[in-house]
Structure 1
């Protein structure tokens, strides 16, 4: 699947909720949380648990969820750890269950490690929606997928192939080794590259753990390990920005191609200085917006999460639940020098 260059309007910017310590968790989990609206409301209370706080991608998702919650008359809060590990997410899930929150919107750091905690929350009456990165299907009510997994994978390979002339060594700089979405995309990338681009060799997959410095260091290590490296694919917003930062001040700028999944605001300077030709992403604000509306539809019993259920998601229109409780946001957008200034997220 080739990506389109269509413009996807960014959702209006909203003030993000302030990150606060989630002291109710007890112990030293190395995390912090935040809170937004509260009190009685007509709509659902939505608690968002991203992989980690301080990540621009999830900040944008929270902006979208905040707007959605205001539209349907609900409340919103964001909580989460500072580090992207499944163990760090569990205390926040447990606390949410103890507090009896209406819904949890979770980007999972592991497909199975947080399942027990989510099942306990569900048993307590909390509706569980995953977004961005899924759990095993039995651990949640719905998964809000940013785009079709195969489409994401093939588009990443097509972008790097175009930039390196369809031949050469390519490495993948991923997030965490156990990130569900990343691993699915990487497996599909490897299969697609082998079948469609026989002159491209994927020589390595490394992990930056969605940490800027680790991703920066992994980029440096890749260039040292593979002196003939032609390109890097980084399907994570933290990774692609860190890799671009390294390349922009190295001799590899303009010599080693870089693409992946990034936000326009992160990547604008690297497109302008020639470090990056093009990259892709769906609108993370819209992803958070859709996830919040899905949570509200579950809480209000407009839907149950069964295949064929449909619900309205405000400005985004109507959506239908697919197999295994998956709702797909839509196609991502390719960003390059011709359109990057049209976006602000």
Structure 2
């Protein structure tokens, strides 16, 4: 039997500061540790040449949080396809658990030893990879983070799936509309250390401070660790512990699917609203059977595509990761923002009217 007392670690979660992902100290220094004045991140040596030729024959390693996670499979296939189009090679390594931070460190070291030209990493922890990533950078490896960032000075650029603020606020807005801006709500997150999850939750909390949400109350944050069974059990525990719960936000594709699975077979179906971040293929049947009204996400294949193209642009010298630099990825031009952040774009809302137009 799942014991709710063992999972209430999220209730007292401290307020997450806006985009302050530096929760853990970075050890070690390298020649790339000197921050540039405009962005505060370690820029690669030299000056960007936007007209430089795109190098071919590069090797780019992808290191997701979890290799058997359907979301990362889709994202990394997008990266693989982009690299093939650019004439470079793709390789994927990574842990089978979404909480194996030490495993991620060892894979960074492996890619560095294999002398890849660049790596695209989805960080499980904001600071745990820093020493290894800085060592990679000092050895000439270009480092891109995607989906979940590390500290700005531990990589060259971060490809963000969407504005963190947009994601956090819109999830609250979606749920509020579904419950009439009234009632108790909960959040079902992934790992407690996940940088992207915590940043989004910080914006959710800030959004809830708006007077229009005065009749809504966040009663708990639970953690399913991006594990389907744990997330299913966490959903069950939330509903048992909070009988008046009106809605759940799950900003994780594994979590929202598991929560929908539980709700769809329970007395809470259609009564407790569920939204968050999910894939259309995972959520289609739950939208069609009335368990979920609407949820959102970006296209993970496009995220992987942009991560790969960013890595190649860095390795080709077309960008260094400095704020204000521009480059073209496919048919779209991107401008690098503060701290080397590159935003994919706004999330897409999926509901019964449009979900069949998407296949991922």
Deviation at 1:110, TM superposition (A): 0.3
Q: How does 1:221-232 map to 2 (within 5 A)?
A: 221-232=237-248
**Could you say what secondary structure the match of 1:54 adopts?**
coil
CA distance in 2, matches of 1:338, 1:63: 27
Is it true that 1:252 corresponds to 2:268 in the alignment?
A: yes
Displacement of 1:44 after TM fit?
Answer: 2.7
Q: Match for 2:295 among 267, 279, 284?
A: 279
* Contact 1:68–1:292, Cα closer than 8 Å, also in 2: yes
Question: Residues of 2 paired with 1:172 and 1:214: CA distance?
Answer: 14
In 1, distance between residues paired with 2:156 and 2:137? Answer: 9
Q: Does 1:94 align with 2:109?
A: yes
Give 1:76's aligned residue. 90
Paired with 2:64 and 2:214, the residues of 1 have a C-alpha distance of: 37
1:154 maps to which of 169, 182, 190: 169
Superposed, 1:293-304 pairs within 5 Å as 293-304=309-320
Of residues 190, 193, 202, the one that matches 1:175 is 190
Please state how far the C-alpha of 1:154 moved relative to its aligned partner. 0.9
2:65 is aligned, of 42, 51, 60, to 51
Which moved further from structure 2: 82-91 or 286-295? Answer: 82-91
Does the residue aligned with 2:237 lie in a helix, a strand or coil? helix
Residues 106, 131 of structure 1: 8 Å contact kept? yes
Task: Identify which range, 268-277 or 41-50, moves more after superposition.
Answer: 41-50
- Using the alignment, how far apart are the partners of 1:88 and 1:267 within structure 2? 30
- Aligned to 2:209, the other structure's residue is in SS state helix
- Is there any run of 5+ residues in structure 1 with no aligned partner, and where? 1-40
Aligned pairs for 1:130-169 (under 5 A) are: 130-169=145-184
User: Whole-Å Cα distance in 2 between the matches of residues 87 and 166 of structure 1?
Assistant: 42
More divergent stretch after superposition (333-342 vs 59-68): 59-68
Q: Distance in 1 between matches of 2:186 and 2:102?
A: 28
Question: Separation in 2 of the partners of 1:43 and 1:273?
Answer: 48
Q: Which residue does 1:217 correspond to in 2?
A: 233
Q: Deviations over 1:248-302 (max 9, x none)?
A: 1111111100000000000001001110000000110000000000000000111
Measured in 1, the distance between the counterparts of 2:229 and 2:131 equals 32
Name the structure, 1 or 2, with higher relative contact order (CA <8 Å, separation 6+): 2
How far the C-alpha of 1:314 sits from its partner, in A, is: 0.9
Aligned length: 304
Q: TM-score when scaled to structure 1?
A: 0.87
- Please, which moves more after superposition, 234-243 or 58-67? 58-67
1:243 has 2:226 as partner: no
User: How far is 1:43 from its partner?
Assistant: 4.4
Distance 2:325 2:59 in 1: 21
Indicate if the aligned counterparts of 1:170 and 1:229 stay in contact, CA closer than 8 A.
yes
Aligned position for 2:322 = 306
Aligned runs of 1:177-216 on 2, under 5 Å? 177-195=192-210, 196-216=212-232
SS of match in other structure, 2:148? coil
> What is the CA-CA distance between 1:194 and the residue it aligns to?
2.2
Q: Please state how far the C-alpha of 1:227 moved relative to its aligned partner.
A: 0.4
Q: What TM-score, normalized by structure 2, do the two folds share?
A: 0.83
What whole-Å deviation, never above 9, does each CA across 1:115-167 have from its counterpart, x for those lacking one?
11111111111110000100010100000001111111110001000111110
What are structure 2's unaligned runs of at least 5 residues? 1-54
